[in-house]
Structure 1
């Protein structure tokens, strides 16, 4: 049986191909690389997949890890898809659903990318991983690296949630704290990597396999809905890997013949304190410009210039979606309202999608007939 149908690495910008059995980062043209699969090798049916254990590895044919012995896992995947009837009634969206990533290992959706990315890195002979982080990604990668016997080097802004700092420290990561933003942390990591040839840079989209872990949110969502899609998916967009991954997953399912009909409209949700994608979308631009002085309580959205900006915007344009920025005040109000009405204490990034859903309904972009899924990307308790 084929465990992984991984066939090649391909640049979505220039079409260049790369050997997937070598450690790769960006294309020579500067674009992130995509893992491509020989879908003819996928023999499993949807019914067979449904009978597998409830982790993201149930989709192993569409993941890049060649051997089950290479998998590093803490049981990640199959997070709940919850109805939000009371919030939906208040918003005028009776078909409002939330995929809750706060219940995944390490408390955030970052565990998906870390599980797949660390597994493939170890399989290719990498001995350590290095990355800048706004908190949750570093915490996840540090813990999965520890689980897989890999070293980890993490750089984090001082303003990141203290709990995520503690997660890195207790997992044995070599942790640097900077009084700055994630871009400055990335510069420090680049300097350190120059002296560590056995380490891989696993920064957002600078290696191809974190994306593959994140796309499993899309695979799960479709399976949980009975192998169909909702009308709209709202995603909190900092680096945007999850949004890009969901779009990629839907395309692969369509190519397999498991999904038909129109794609859901994808919505990138940002903060008014850091909204480079929203500004680019409003200008119908192909790329985003750096956002000056980024700041927001939704710390994961503090990404002034996403590396995958073109891929994010392509997904929004292709699905007739949109991009919207919300105020911190509205984000915190919806976080409290969600806990009070639905009993779910979600992260600020997830709450931003609720504020966006409310605003899009008020503007008429969303209608009462729309089935709307918001992504909560982490647990509220990680933000004291």
Structure 2
């Protein structure tokens, strides 16, 4: 079901089969008793991007490609950088200067050629496009090569396998470029074609940030593609994609599963990031936390019904975003001779 033809070409760091965790206390608070989280934060490089990188780099190696180039909001570039290094392949990465510093470090230490652009991922994409045309590098941009998607679809396979092939009712996915959501939908259709599952499909929900929600706007207007989102900005940096190349595929997945698209404010997702950590001990990335806020809203509106099984995709580790999740007011500074005040003791 994956495109690599010879096992000798597989480039792996041990990715795959991430935990599917029940969120009992958080679910009770939200009103969703059967709430689960697929946690991609423990995968190599700390995000689901490793799935696309392992398949994409493996196939590139198999095809004899020596240099890849790609724009990134941070995490994809970090993943492709380390997998390219493991494959002995050269990589050129262009990311916005505001991308999380940790992802910049991952690229730099891997020895790739890293460039920062004073702009958005759309600006980085234009720079990469010109460089690919000039130097003949392989363009590994989202959906400009077919193999990243093949890696991402394994999330769909795993969710169903972990549920013993029982179909959840709703899957919520934080959407930037949307390849993960497209991949999950592709996995579901493939499993149907194989006869492993029946006609029922989970309703797929595309979750975006209010500061960059082109898919949501297109879904609300029942359009087949989105329009460029001007002045995109959100703390959930990984989903700051003003115009996804595969927007029509994301929308198709949502329409064909009777799903929906919903936008979340930054303050809402940051609040839910803390709520999830306190209730379940899970330090979700901001993008993943947006799915918690979305699930709460959709349950309150009745779109998610009582008794339904709901899966949240946490696409990365919260520790990759050191500027979010910090609550200074909760921290007390002590001197070496101080005693703990009883009111603050657990």
In the TM superposition, residue 261 of structure 1 has moved relative to its aligned partner by 3.4
Which residue is equivalent to 2:207?
Answer: 269
Match of 1:129 in 2: 68
Residue 236 of structure 1 corresponds to which residue in structure 2?
Answer: 174
Say whether 1:95 aligns with 2:26. Answer: no
Q: 2:141 matched to which residue of 1?
A: 203
Equivalent residue in structure 2 for 1:164, among 95, 103, 111: 103
CA shift, 1:227, in A, is 1.4
Following superposition, the deviation at residue 266 of structure 1 comes to: 0.2
Q: Which residue of 2 aligns with 1:301?
A: 239
Larger Cα Rg: Structure 1 or Structure 2? 2
2: distance between equivalents of 1:105 and 1:176? 23
Offset of residue 196 of structure 1: 2.2
Aligned to 2:133: 194
Residues 1-384 of structure 1 mapped to structure 2, 5 A cutoff: 62-197=1-136, 199-384=137-322
Paired residue secondary structure (1:195): helix
TM-score normalised over the length of structure 1? 0.83
**Could you tell me how far 1:194 is from its partner in structure 2?**
2.2
Q: CA deviation at 1:348?
A: 0.2
The range that moved more, 232-241 or 361-370, is 361-370
Alignment correspondent of 2:337 = none
Give, in whole Å, the separation in 1 of the partners of 2:191 and 2:157.
8
Preserved contact between residue 271 and residue 327 of structure 1 (Cα < 8 Å): yes
Unaligned runs of 5+ in 2: 323-346
**Distance between the aligned counterparts of 1:173 and 1:225, measured in 2?**
39
Which runs of 5 or more structure 1 residues have no equivalent in the other structure?
A: 1-61
Q: How many corresponding residue pairs?
A: 322
Q: Does the 8 A contact of 1:95 with 1:368 survive in 2?
A: no
* Cα contact 1:244–1:312 (8 A) shared by 2: yes
Secondary structure at the counterpart of residue 134 of structure 2: coil
Structure 1 vs Structure 2 CA RMSD:
0.6
Distance apart, 1:190 and its partner CA = 1.3
